Amino acid sequence: MEEIATILPMGGAPGLVAFLCAQCGKSDSMLVYPIRHARGAQHYDDAIPPRGRRRAA
């Protein structure tokens, strides 16, 4: 599946990533949650997908 659209998380609300299979036309999407920063915490550059939802490559 190819990523075809991305809406970034904003204002504490989740974003969305949409996928489309070029072979069969099937589509899928998943919510992407913003990173929560706490004082003294290690910071990461990308958003964290919801727990339990992993996409196969």
Residue type, 4: I
Q: pTM surpassing 0.85?
A: no
Question: Nearest 10 degrees: CA dihedral of 7, 26, 55, 38?
Answer: 20
Residue type, 18: A
| 8-56: pLDDT as tens digits | 998 888 999 999 999 999 999 999 988 765 666 555 555 555 555 555 5
List, in order, residues 6 or more apart from 6 with CB less than 8 Å away: 15, 16, 17, 18, 32
Distance CA 33, CA 17 (A): 11
Domain ranges, ordered by start, for the chain: 2-32
Neighbours of 29 (CB within 10 A): 13
pLDDT at 57: 47
